[in-house]
Amino acid sequence: MILAIDMGNSNIVVGGIDNKQIYFLERITTHTTRTELEYSMYIKGILDIHGVKTKDIEGAILSSVVPPLNITVKNAVKKILGIECMLVESGMKTGLNILMDNPKSVGSDMIVDAIAAMSEYPLPLAVIDMGTATTISVVDEHGNYIGGIIHPGLRISLDTLSSKTAQLPQVNLDIPKKVIAKNTVDSMRSGILFGHAGMMDGIISRMEEELGQKLNVVATGGLAPFVTPLCKHDIIVDDNLLLKGLLKLYIKNQ
């Protein structure tokens, strides 16, 4: 088993995975002020909760979009496991041909998602990751990463709406029953969720027009289950996409 860590701006996903199965998957909040000791306690706590002994873990890999925390989390892993944590970065063997103006600027999470998706789903692909930002990446029929979009995420949009308007409350992201809402809370929920679904549908349709091909669409991220049921496109939800991609990268770079 390896320890796979995906560090996003809002949450850090910590999972245990090998070629047979995913043993555990948990999330902790990302805080740039936490020390390596604090992160080591959180990660060790996750292992203890799931009954995983440190000797059961043969390696570790980290994908991060929060560079200031990279060394902190790597040191936290070493403190617990006594091994070096591999970092997803430019220069790694990925097997993915990135056709971008500056390939090094592509987020590691987007690369990991694409690597996992193209190994499990037919090409060409649109890969959606719904976190702090919603990203949609495209892998063409030849397995090339050809680009995509970055859009403000659901939670950012909702929190901004609540914080910048005096009379609008904080609301939970429950799936609305209909678009035309009858009260303020439901109106906000409907606007954010159906609006995001409409954005995704519109972007995917435009991507298909540019490519001249129909895209197979797979989505991941904690918010994907709230939005994908409202989309008109057929979208496969794969919660474990990042973990599977991290395992593939770890094996390829051993």
Catalytic residue set = 109
109 is in an annotated binding site: yes
59 is in an annotated binding site: no
148 is in an annotated binding site: no
140 is in an annotated binding site: no
7 is in an annotated binding site: yes
What residues contact residue 16 under an 8 Å CB cut-off, 6+ apart?
1, 2, 3, 4, 22, 23, 24, 25, 47, 50, 52, 57
190 is in an annotated binding site: no
Q: What's at 197, amino acid-wise?
A: A
CA distance 92 to 98: 13
CA distance 204 to 176: 22
12 is in an annotated binding site: yes
CA distances from 29 to 6, 32, 43, 88, 123 (A): 12, 10, 12, 20, 34
CA distances from 94 to 97, 98, 178 (A): 8, 10, 43
115 is in an annotated binding site: no
132 is in an annotated binding site: yes
184 is in an annotated binding site: yes
Q: What's at 169, amino acid-wise?
A: P
- Would you state the structure tokens that stand for residue 134, as one six-digit string? 């919603």
Q: Which residues are annotated as a binding site for substrate?
A: 107-110, 184
Q: Which residues are annotated as a binding site for K(+)?
A: 129
Q: Which residues are annotated as a binding site for ATP?
A: 6-13, 132
Q: Which residues are annotated as a binding site?
A: 6-13, 107-110, 129, 132, 184
